[in-house]
Amino acid sequence: MARREIQVSETIAHLAAEFLARESSVPSLITVTHADMSPDLKQATIFISVLPQTQEAEALAFAKRSRSDLRTYIRDKSFIHPTPVVDFVIDYGEKNRQRVDELTRS
């Protein structure tokens, strides 16, 4: 992964976390775990985890509805050009890591 790609993905993840914390009306905790960028930096996939897990579908739906507002927020708060098209997905890797931690503690 190129240095620029890493910098942009970290900036996108940070701005997405700020945006979701400020705009979320969902009664759950939405955490941005990381963001992946396409090599041309035109598309970003933002990985989130949600607590409680019963609210995942509602939180993901909220995040997907807010994509255009997030793009505007990124454009206004950063110098990233062009502003990437964003998408949200649930971070199953983080869920699996937490499950392994639970099993190893028992």
What is the pTM assigned to this prediction?
A: 0.88
- Residue 99 banded pLDDT, cuts 50, 70, 90: confident
> Tell me: the pLDDT tens digits for 20-44?
999 987 788 999 999 999 999 999 9
> Tell me: the pLDDT tens digits for 49-69?
998 888 999 999 999 999 999
Q: Which fold has domain 3-105?
A: GMP Synthetase; Chain A, domain 3 (3.30.300)
**Cα(96)–Cα(94) distance, integer angstroms:** 5
**Cα(2)–Cα(22) distance, integer angstroms:** 31
Token pair in block for residue 90: 């649930």
Q: What are the sequence ranges of the domains in the chain?
A: 3-105
